[in-house]
Amino acid sequence: MGRRRGGLLTPRAAEGHISGYYREALVQLPADEFPKLLTAGVCFGLLDPVSNIIVNTAMRASSPRRKKRKRSEQQMIEEEEVVDKKEALALVAKRSLHGLVAFLVSYFRYLDSREALRYLCLAKADLLVAVRLIHLDRFAMPSSSTTNHSSTRFNVALKCAAVSGKHPCPDTFSAIWLSLATSSPMDQRQQLIQLSSHPRIQELLRKIPLVHPQSSPRKQPSNSLATSLPMDQLSSRPRIQELLDHLLSNPRKQPRKVDVPFQVAQLAWSRIFLLLDTIHCLYLKAIARFPRGDLRMTHHRGLLKAGHCFGPMDDPVSNIILNTIWYDTAFPPQEEFLADMLLTQSLARTQARSACGLILFLCTRFPGLTTGAAVDFLLQAGANLHDAISRVQCEGHEASGSLEEAYTKAARATWHPEPEALAKLYTQLPHHLPAEVLSSLRTSDRSLTAEEVETISASLHGVLGSQTPHRVPKLRPQAARRVRHDRARFSKDHLFFRRIVDNALKSKDPPGYQLHVICGVNEKVADNGKHGYYDLKDGHPYCHINFLARPRGSPTATPTLFFAECSKDDDNTKVFCCCAVDPSKDDGRCCRCEKNGTPIVHPTFERYRGCDTDFVDMACEITMMTDELFSLGSSRTQVFWLKKQDSVYFDPRWDTELAEYKNKAEDADPENSICII
C-alpha cells in the first residue's frame, strides 16, 4: 500500500492513533485489569475510543467460563510482559483496527477495505467520526444517513467488528452495545455500572459521557449512528473536531480529493454504485406512477428500451415517464403482449445507461468538468440533471455548446435506439407541452390515470409525429428460432414468479393487495453460509423479489413496494418473508444480491438469507469480501451491450442493430447460435 506524507494514511498510522488511546486508557484503569484489556478491550463501540476501551474491558465480568479462562489470561499477560508490554499493546491495537475496518465495510455498501482505512486515518481511528465522514463524503441526505440501532445491518456490523477483532465473546459484545444504544440515559448509566464490580472501574464508568439522542449536532433524527453524540463529544482529539468543523462548513472540499494510497478507480466505482442506487429509487417511483393496465400491456417495452431519467422536465421521475410514453408513441411495437414482470437485468441496464447519459451530458455541456466531479454533482442533486446543472454553474463552470449537442451525446452514450430524434424532441418539447400535461407529470402523490397517459401521448405525438419504420434485416432461421426460444423462456419465468408473488401477497394479513408489477428478481439465493461449489451443487433454492402492489379497489393509489423471500419449489412455494419496504429509507444489506449485482431493496429490520451469516463468515477476510462484492457486483454496470433478454422485445420494424447481432451470431456458430449474454 502506498504512503502519503510519511504514512499518514497507512495501517501503521491508524495503529499509532489507537495505541495512543490505549496508553490513555491504561492511565485510568487499574493495573490488574490489563489482562482483560488485552483480550476484550477493543477500541470500537458507540463512545469515544478511550471510553470504548474502558467499557469493553469492564465487559469481561466474572462468569463460570471466565474462571476457566482466568489462568490462561494470566499466562498470556505474563508471556506478553516477557516480550514487552508495548508489543502487547501493539497487538491489541492491530486487532482493534481490524475490527474498525470490519464494521465500516459491513455497515456501508460499496466500501473497500482500503477506503475504510483511509477514513479511519482521517478520523484518527474514532469509529463515530469515521462514519460521519463517510456520510458527508457520500453527500448522504438525512433520510439515508440515519440508522436505527436495532436494525439488522447495525447488529451485523457490530458482530463483524467483534469477530474480526478477535473479541472472545462477539455475541455478548454486540448484545451489550445494542442494549446500551437503545436504552434511555438513566438505563445506560445503570447498565454500564453493572458491567464490573471493581470500585475503580465503576467510578470510571460513572464518568463516561453517554449517548444522548437529543444532542444531535445537525438536528438530524436521534437514531443516527454518526450523530448520536454531541459534536464536542465525538472525540477528545482536537484535530478530529477541527476536521469535522471544516467538512460541515464546506462539504464539497472533502479530503477524498487529496492524493490517496489506494486505487482511485475503486473509489470512482463506489461512487458510481451510489449513483446507481439513487437512480434505482427514481425508477421505482416512476414505475409506481404508471397505470397498471398501461404498464403491463404497453409501456413495459418503452421503459426498458428508452425510459431514461434525463430530459426537458425538471425532475427525473417525470423524464422517465415522458421518455417511456414518447418512445411507445413514436415507435409503436408491431405487437403488444401482457407482462406482469420487468426484466431485472434490462431494468438495471437502463439505469446504468441513464447514469452514463447524465455524466456525459454534464461533461459535454461543461467541458471543464471531470467525470468524477460530474458524479459528485449528480450525487448531491439526487440524480436530478437540472439541479446538478444549477450546482455546477454555482461553482463557476460556464456552459459551452448547444443543448441539442449535449442531449445527442447523452442519448448515444445510453444506447438509446433513436438518439437524434430524442435530442430533437427535447429541444422542441418545452414549447409544446400543455399545462395540464405538466401538472399531471409533476403530481407525485398518486398514479397517473389511463386518460392522463393518453393525453401525454397525444401531446408528444404532436411534436414529431409517428416515425417511418426502419429497414430491418430479416432474421435467419436459426436466429428466429433463438428469438422464439428466448421469448418462451421469459413467458415461463413470468408465470413462475407471478405465482410466487401471488402466494406472497396471500400471506399478507389482510390479503387485500393486487400486483402492480414485479420489478426485481434475484433467483440465485442459497442458504446462509453456503458459498463453495459443493455447497451449491444443488443450486439456489430461494429467491429475493421486489414487487409493487396496491390495495384492491384503489386504482390511483400509489403502489407499495414489497420485498419477499420465497422458495422456488414448483409444488409448494414457501414464503419466508414478505414486507413493505421504502427505497428511500430501507437499506438492508444482502450478500447474495450484492454479489449477483441485482438491485433489490431489502428491509431494515427483517431477517433474510444473506443479511447476516455471510457477512460474519467473511469478517476475518475483509479484503476478500469487499473485492468479491465489488468485482461480482460490478456486473450491474457492465450490461451496456445487447443481451439475450433483448429477444423478448425484438421488433422487426425498428431493431436493426439487434437483427444484425442475431444474424452474426448464427454466422459464428450456426449449429448452436446464441446471442451475447
Is residue 216's pLDDT more than 70?
Answer: no
Which three-class secondary structure state does DSSP give residue 398? coil
Is residue 570's pLDDT more than 60?
Answer: yes
Q: 173-177, 190-194, 270-274: which has the minimum mean pLDDT?
A: 190-194
672 in a structural domain = no
Rg over CA atoms, the chain: 28
409 in a structural domain = yes
DSSP β-bridge partners for residue 565: 544, 577
532 versus 186: the higher-pLDDT residue is: 186
Query: From CA 439, how far away is CA 420, in angstroms rounded?
Result: 27
The full DSSP string for 409-432 is HHHHHTT-SSHHHHHHHHHHGGGT
The answer on 205 and 282 residing in a single domain is no
Overall number of domains in the chain? 3
The answer on 26 and 78 residing in a single domain is yes
295 in a structural domain = yes
Cα angle vertex 670, ends 668, 673, to 5°? 80
Average pLDDT for 173-191: 81
Q: What are phi and psi of 590, to 5 degrees?
A: -145, 115
441 versus 620: the higher-pLDDT residue is: 441
Average pLDDT for 556-561: 90
- The band of 433, judged by pLDDT with boundaries at 50, 70 and 90, is confident
The answer on 413 and 378 residing in a single domain is yes
Query: From CA 650, how far away is CA 253, in angstroms rounded?
Result: 48
**Predicted TM-score (pTM) of this structure:** 0.86
583 in a structural domain = yes
At 532 the pLDDT is: 55
The full DSSP string for 36-100 is HHHHH--S-SSS-HHHHHHHHHHT----HHHHHHHHHHHHHHHHHHHH-HHHHHHHHHHHHHHHH
628 in a structural domain = yes
Please state, for a pLDDT cut of 70, what percent of the chain lies above it.
79
Q: Quote the mean pLDDT of the chain.
A: 81
The answer on 384 and 342 residing in a single domain is yes
Is residue 496's pLDDT more than 60?
Answer: yes
Query: From CA 192, how far away is CA 212, in angstroms rounded?
Result: 15
From the DSSP assignment, how many helices (H) and strands (E) are in the chain?
A: 28, 4
Is residue 260's pLDDT more than 50?
Answer: no
Give the model confidence (pLDDT) of 387-418 as tens digits.
999 999 999 999 998 888 999 999 998 999 99
At 339 the pLDDT is: 95
Which three-class secondary structure state does DSSP give residue 214? helix
193 versus 1: the higher-pLDDT residue is: 193
Give the model confidence (pLDDT) of 369-387 as tens digits.
999 999 999 999 999 999 9
The full DSSP string for 523-573 is EEE--TT--STTTTTT---EEEEEEEEEETT-TTSPPEEEEEEEE--SSS-
**CA 321 from centroid of its chain's CA atoms:** 24
The answer on 245 and 275 residing in a single domain is no
Residue 154's domain spans which residues?
A: 11-211+227-253
At 213 the pLDDT is: 37
Average pLDDT for 166-177: 91
The answer on 249 and 323 residing in a single domain is no
Residue partners of 491: CB distance under 8 A and separation at least 6: none
Is residue 248's pLDDT more than 80?
Answer: no
At 5 the pLDDT is: 43
The answer on 184 and 80 residing in a single domain is yes
- The band of 466, judged by pLDDT with boundaries at 50, 70 and 90, is confident
The answer on 374 and 457 residing in a single domain is yes
343 in a structural domain = yes
- The band of 179, judged by pLDDT with boundaries at 50, 70 and 90, is confident
667 in a structural domain = no
Query: From CA 356, how far away is CA 676, in angstroms rounded?
Result: 21
At 208 the pLDDT is: 79
The answer on 589 and 451 residing in a single domain is no
Domain-ending residue, one of 430, 464, 498: 464
The answer on 319 and 189 residing in a single domain is no
The answer on 201 and 308 residing in a single domain is no
The answer on 246 and 335 residing in a single domain is no
497 in a structural domain = no
Instruction: Sort residue 322 into left (φ over 0), alpha (ψ -120 to 50) or beta.
Output: alpha
Q: Are 498 and 340 in contact (CB under 8 A)?
A: yes
